[in-house]
């Protein structure tokens, strides 16, 4: 089963674990994550810039760039796949400085963001874009944390079991997208 293999690991992702894994490693994540995409990033960073405490604790978190579909009646979650990570690049330095442990998105980031992530010990993980039904089926609980008026762009807390992701940028300079820079 394609979505079934990988190194099983529980969140929070320790510094030791983050330093050990390499770009291209397949992981199966279990535990808590928070979601944030464009509008939530904008609000979190604006709050931090104003010197306010954001409504969610960021330190040590795994931030999943996703805007889920609503859950059908009787289900925990709908489809929950990664969105294009480079749109979060302008906000990533601030969140990295707040101490997030990892982020999950899809596709390559800017060289600047790749540097910022490594400097702050943040892993960049990717899910396979467009596999949101499979990824959503690994969500065991979902709860609204902040910015509910943003609908799909709100911040949710997810509890996942064996969420298949790939290490895209490790902390040693490894990059699964390095072939794209040579195009």
Residue burial 64-90, b: 16+ Cβ < 10 Å; e: rest: bbbbbeeeeeeeebbbbbbbbbeebbe
Q: Computed from CA positions of residues 2, 129, 111, 99, in that sequence, does the dihedral angle turn out positive or negative? A: negative
How many residues bind other proteins (CB under 8 A)? The answer is 45
Residues 10-39 that bind other proteins (CB under 8 A): 24, 26, 39
User: Taking CB under 8 A as the rule, which mask of x and - marks residues 34-73 in contact with other proteins?
Assistant: -----x--------------------------xxxxxxx-
Shortest spacing between CB 52 and other proteins, in angstroms? 21
* Single residue of 7, 141, 144, 180 touching other proteins by CB under 8 A: 180
List alpha helices for 21-138, DSSP H: 38-49, 89-97, 111-119, 132-136
Shortest spacing between CB 97 and other proteins, in angstroms? 26
How far is Cα of residue 27 from the mean position of the Cα atoms in its chain? 13
Nearest-Å Rg of the Cα atoms of the chain is 15
Helix (H) or strand (E) holding 18: helix 15-20
Shortest spacing between CB 165 and other proteins, in angstroms? 11
Residues 103-142 that bind other proteins (CB under 8 A): 106-108, 126, 128-134, 136-137
Give the footprint of other proteins on this chain (CB under 8 A).
Answer: 1-3, 24, 26, 39, 66-72, 78-81, 83-84, 86, 106-108, 126, 128-134, 136-137, 149-153, 164, 166, 176-177, 179-180, 183
């Amino acid at each position: 089963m394609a979505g079934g293999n990988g190194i099983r690991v529980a969140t929070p992702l320790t510094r030791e674990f983050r330093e050990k894994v390499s770009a291209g490693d397949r992981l199966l994540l279990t535990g808590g994550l928070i979601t944030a995409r464009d509008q939530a990033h904008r609000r979190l960073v604006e709050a931090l810039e104003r010197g306010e405490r954001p409504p969610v604790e960021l330190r040590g978190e795994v931030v999943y760039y996703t805007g889920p579909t609503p859950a059908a009646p009787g289900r925990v979650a709908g489809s929950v796949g990664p969105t294009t990570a480079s749109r979060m690049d302008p906000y990533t330095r601030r969140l990295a400085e707040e101490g997030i442990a990892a982020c999950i998105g899809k596709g390559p980031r800017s060289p600047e963001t790749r540097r910022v992530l490594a400097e702050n010990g943040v892993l960049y993980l990717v899910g396979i874009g467009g596999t949101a039904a499979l990824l959503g089926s690994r969500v065991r609980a979902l709860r609204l944390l902040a910015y509910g008026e943003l609908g799909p762009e709100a911040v949710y807390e997810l509890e996942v079991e064996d969420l298949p992701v790939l290490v895209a940028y490790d902390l040693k300079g490894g990059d699964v997208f390095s072939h794209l820079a040579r195009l």
